[in-house]
């Protein structure tokens, strides 16, 4: 049970935890007889969202095995950390990189990307996802070839992918991955629609974090498709699961001179 209880030497009985919880007053309750707040979770139903920890003004929530909690300047004013104009430019600069330098990314930088991914929100804080970083070029090539073979054995998939494989094959040894030095997999065995959304958010966090470190990425939908259509391919990387997100990672070897145009989506205001 990660939430252990309350440190009554710190608790000021303010009641913030009663409503901070994702399930208000389900686990934190006010004991009228003792005039204090108590925590009870006999069925281990707490989803470990950490809202009580984050909102407690006295840091009085006791917990374990939930990772690190920390503070920083402007925690409650994130708009002061980065302006909208700067953020908009950063988001607009994000591209799908299909040309990479051969240089490997340091483990330290990759771990920073993974750390950012671990901060992504998930539905009901399920957090069933696992990360795998593939940096062995021979293994990347093996997976590339295995996926290509499976696609070519299926007439409809061959028609859909052959041109791309053959064209990129003129330039890359592993055309599916553009010879990227790293491929990152996010996988989960929790096969529900929301898990696909969760993984999508996690991958997006990773891609944006990578960009802040001078790295490039590209979401790889073909690998996701292949893992689901041909489960035996998962053995190449040694991963399990039914839902996947995959993206390449490396130092970009491309120059952009402008941002490509994007038309504003149709919007309806209901007032």
Query: Tens of pLDDT along 166-212?
Result: 999 999 999 999 999 999 999 998 878 889 999 999 999 999 999 99
Greater confidence, 166 or 124? 166
All residues at 6 or more sequence positions from 42 whose CB lies less than 8 Å from its CB, including other chains: none
Of all residues in the chain, the percent with pLDDT exceeding 90 is: 85
β-strand partners of 14: none
3-63: which CATH topology? Alpha-Beta Plaits (3.30.70)
Grade residue 140 by pLDDT with cuts at 50, 70 and 90.
very high
Helix (H/G/I), strand (E/B), else coil: 115: helix
pLDDT grade for 163, boundaries at 50, 70 and 90: very high
pLDDT-derived band of residue 33, with 50, 70 and 90 as boundaries? Answer: confident
State mean pLDDT over 41-64.
93
Domain topology for 95-250? NADH Oxidase (3.40.109)
3-state DSSP helix/strand/coil % of the chain, to nearest 5: 40, 15, 45
Mean pLDDT, rounded, for 266-270: 96
Closest Cα partner for 179 from 111, 76, 251, 107?
251
Q: What angle in degrees, to the nearest 10, is found between the helix axes of 193-212 and 107-118?
A: 140
How much is the pLDDT for 1? 56
- When the pLDDT of each residue in the chain is averaged and rounded to a whole number, the result is 94
22 band by pLDDT with thresholds 50, 70 and 90: confident
CA separation for the pair 100, 10 (Å, rounded): 53
User: Position of tokens 């901060």?
Assistant: 119
Q: What is the pTM of this model?
A: 0.93
Q: What is the spatial distance between Cα 27 and Cα 190, in angstroms, rounded to a whole number?
A: 25
Q: Where are the domains of the chain?
A: 3-63, 95-250
Matching fold, domains 3-63 and 95-250: no
Task: Give phi and psi for 58, each to the nearest 5.
Answer: -110, 5
What value does the mean pLDDT take over residues 6-10?
Answer: 95
Nearest to 38 by CA among 19, 70, 15: 15
């Amino acid at each position: 049970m990660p939430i252990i209880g309350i440190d009554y030497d710190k608790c000021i009985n303010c009641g913030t935890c009663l409503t901070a919880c994702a399930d208000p007053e389900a686990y934190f309750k006010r004991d009228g007889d003792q005039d204090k707040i108590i925590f009870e979770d006999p069925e281990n139903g707490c989803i470990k969202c950490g809202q009580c920890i984050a909102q407690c003004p006295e840091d009085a929530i006791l917990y374990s095995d939930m990772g690190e909690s920390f503070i920083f300047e402007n925690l409650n004013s994130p708009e002061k950390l980065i302006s909208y104009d700067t953020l908009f430019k950063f988001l607009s600069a994000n591209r799908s990189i299909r040309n990479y330098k051969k240089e490997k990314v340091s483990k330290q930088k990759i771990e920073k990307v993974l750390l950012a991914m671990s901060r992504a929100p998930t539905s009901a804080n399920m957090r069933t996802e696992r990360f795998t970083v593939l940096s062995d070029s021979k293994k990347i090539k093996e997976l590339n070839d295995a996926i290509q073979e499976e696609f070519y054995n299926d007439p409809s998939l061959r028609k859909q992918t052959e041109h791309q494989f053959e064209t990129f094959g003129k330039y890359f040894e592993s055309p599916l991955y553009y010879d990227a030095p790293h491929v990152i997999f996010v996988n989960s065995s929790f096969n529900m629609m929301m898990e696909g959304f969760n993984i999508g958010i996690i991958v997006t966090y990773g891609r944006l974090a990578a960009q802040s470190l001078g790295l490039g990425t590209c979401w790889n939908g073909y690998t996701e498709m292949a893992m689901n259509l041909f489960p035996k391919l998962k053995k190449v990387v040694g991963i399990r699961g039914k839902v996947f997100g995959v993206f390449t990672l490396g130092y970009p070897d491309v120059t952009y001179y402008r941002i490509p145009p994007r038309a504003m989506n149709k919007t309806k205001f209901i007032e």
